[in-house]
Amino acid sequence: MRIGFSTVILSLVAATSVIAAPAPITEAPPVHLSQLEQRGWVMDRLKPLFSKAVNSLQCGACVAALSGAKSIAYLNKNWVLDAANGICREMKMMDADVCSGIVYSQGPVLIQAALQANLLSGDGKMICFQALGICPSPGISSGTVSFPKPKPTNAKAPTPSGKLVDVMHLSDWHVDAHYVPGSEAECTKPLCCRNYAGQSKPPKRAASTWGDYKCDAPKKLGIDMLKYASTISHPEFSIITGDIP
Ligand SMILES: *[C@@H]1O[C@H](CO)[C@@H](O)[C@H](O)[C@H]1NC(C)=O
């Protein structure tokens, strides 16, 4: 299972109320404030920007939120993450542990991208399209990529030996080391079949030994698949690609 921000945000944000446009952040918090007060000052400005973006799912609101996040990220990246986490929890977009998991693991990457980006000349729309699924696809623009050195003049493909070999290619195999048979398969998180704290028992649907549609693969499935593969072929080598998990 691949969890993108877009999936999570688009599927879990139900509210569509319209909020008046929040003021852009054009200044830094007053220097005479304590660190904690500065954080509060920032939260008061960043949170309306974020909630406008997730409530309206409007491209312009998303770019504005990114711009606000960027100006605050220069001061302290943690404040941006804390504001995003706060909004996610307050709006009950996801379970609290999923909010903090996504914000603090994926957020720093988005912040880094925003810091390198020219948000108002297209990059903002691209980030809001790629990472959050809020802006429409900006389309493909043409460009020139130059190779570090020119193509060799005497390049020759090696002569094939004619010998055929088996290769095993595993892709996106998503074996979940935390899969627990019998745990809740019908959970409120993006990925189920784990022993999360606070789940009511008995489960609505118990995770089976061999897997469930709402879960990644149990370890047993992965191991047995590898055992079986070795009975039907003897690959010269194997490659594993894709997201793992
Ligand atoms: C950034 O904010 C966090 C949380 O408020 C704080 O613990 C940390 O000291 C701040 N870092 C800097 C460099 O100000």
Query: For residue 55, what pLDDT is reported?
Result: 87
As beta bridge partners, residue 167 has 237
C-beta separation of 218 from 209 below 8 A: yes
State the burial class of residue 214 (Cβ atoms within 10 Å of its Cβ: 0-12, 13-18, 19+): middle
What's the whole-model pTM score? 0.70
Cβ of 106 closer than 6 Å to ligand 1, yes or no, is no
Query: For residue 28, what pLDDT is reported?
Result: 78
Give the pair of three-digit tokens for residue 111: 């912040």
Cβ of 76 closer than 6 Å to ligand 1, yes or no, is yes
Give the pair of three-digit tokens for residue 91: 């709006």
Question: Of 59, 53, 82, 72, which is closest to residue 114 (Cα–Cα)?
Answer: 72
Query: What sections of the chain are H helices per DSSP?
Result: 5-12, 35-56, 59-73, 77-90, 96-116, 123-130, 219-232
Query: For residue 245, what pLDDT is reported?
Result: 65
Positions of the chain with pLDDT lower than 50, given as ranges: 1-20
How many angstroms is it from 75 CA to the middle of ligand 1?
A: 9
* Portion of the chain with pLDDT greater than 70, in percent: 89
Query: For residue 17, what pLDDT is reported?
Result: 36
Query: For residue 12, what pLDDT is reported?
Result: 33
C-beta separation of 116 from 126 below 8 A: no
